[in-house]
Amino acid sequence: MIVLRDLTKRYGEKSAVAGLSLEIKPGQVTGFLGPNGAGKSTTMRLITGLDAPTSGTALIGGRPYGALSHPLREVGALLDARSAHPGWTARGHLLGVARSNGISADHVARVLELAGLSDVAGRRVGSFSLGMSQRLGIATALLGDPGVLLFDEPVNGLDPDGVRWIRELIRSLAAEGRTVFLSSHLMSEMQDTADHLVVIGRGRLIADAPIGDVLHSSSRNAVRVRTPRPDALRRELLSSGMTVESSAPDEMIVSGGSLEEIGDLAFRHGVPIHELTPRRATLEQAYMELTANSLECGERAGK
């Protein structure tokens, strides 16, 4: 488990992370979302000891990263896919990391195969594409078979097969009872992968909830309704405080009420219904609502 308590990081007058308190639990994929500059990467760097907090704590299994005797056996992290020295081969890089953490060389072959890099293990890292570098970073994170894993934008540069591979891998790691903390800007991928979401903006917590709760809370949830008596039904829906938009002569999109509420209301007033279809909000829609007040000016302008 990762526990953050009032975690704060300031750079001069600017707070990159401001009093962040979280518990990132094992056995699930926790997605980490926020606009550019929200403090996601800084938070991950604070957890892994690459930056020191101005105040507050980041604990892994009850201890700060710097107190772990063999860090890679307890925490694996992919924060920068290009961090390996370009002159090393993939195998040489992993062997060096393994020796520094007292990990058997047998694990190197295992993670090379797992990451799909066995055939290029002798190539220099500097010749790798971004996708191959991502795979090497993931192999490095898994080298010590850790119980806690952090991935920052792990699908960047991966082809569709690679995206599916990392999605299935991440979910399998969580299913084994590991703590998985995943940051990504790809909303569709996050919606398919995460069980729980943490959303921050300007370094502060906006949401910390199961992904289903985040989606359910969106005002973009609606119900598509078809009826031969649209005027009668519209009148009753509006009087019940729901919002109605016409999409065709016999069709409307209704928000502010559940499918059951709309069906019951139509039944009470004798209005026949030909279709009731829920229209669920996407994670992108829910996310944009949550972060609407946390975007920088350039992002609001679409820049």
- pLDDT 10s digits, 76-111: 999 988 888 999 999 999 999 999 888 988 899 999
Q: What is the largest CA-CA distance in the chain?
A: 76
> Do the Cβ atoms of 26 and 33 come closer than 8 Å?
no
Average pLDDT over residues 3-10: 96
Query: Is the predicted pLDDT of residue 302 greater than 70, yes or no?
Result: no
Phi, psi of 158 (to 5 degrees): -85, 145
Pairing of strands 2-11, 14-24: antiparallel
Which of 288, 155, 152 lies closest to 220, judged by CA? 288
Query: Is the predicted pLDDT of residue 140 greater than 50, yes or no?
Result: yes
pTM to 2 decimal places: 0.85
> Do the Cβ atoms of 139 and 112 come closer than 8 Å?
yes
Distance CA 209, CA 205 (A): 11
Q: Which pLDDT score is estimated for 295? A: 60
Q: Which pLDDT score is estimated for 217? A: 84
Q: Which pLDDT score is estimated for 296? A: 53
- CATH topology classification for 2-215: Rossmann fold (3.40.50)
Q: Which pLDDT score is estimated for 175? A: 97
Q: Which pLDDT score is estimated for 297? A: 42
Distance CA 15, CA 54 (A): 10
Distance CA 111, CA 17 (A): 33
Which of 71, 53, 76, 77 lies closest to 5, judged by CA? 53
More confident residue, 228 or 36: 228
The CATH number corresponding to 222-279 among 3.40.30, 1.20.1300, 1.10.260, 3.30.70 equals 3.30.70
Exposed, middle or buried: residue 202 (CB in 10 Å: 0-12, 13-18, 19+)? buried
Distances (CA, A) of 21 to 172, 174, 205, 292, 299: 27, 22, 8, 22, 26
Average pLDDT over residues 248-268: 93
For the chain, the domains span: 2-215, 222-279
Helices 259-268 and 230-239: angle between axes, nearest 10 degrees: 110
**Residue corresponding to tokens 């992904």:** 211
Query: Is the predicted pLDDT of residue 261 greater than 60, yes or no?
Result: yes
H-assigned helices in 48-129: 71-74, 90-100, 106-114
Pairing of strands 243-248, 2-11: unpaired
- Rg of the chain over all Cα atoms, to the nearest angstrom: 24
What is the pLDDT of the chain when averaged over all its residues?
A: 91
- CATH fold match for the domains 2-215 and 222-279: no
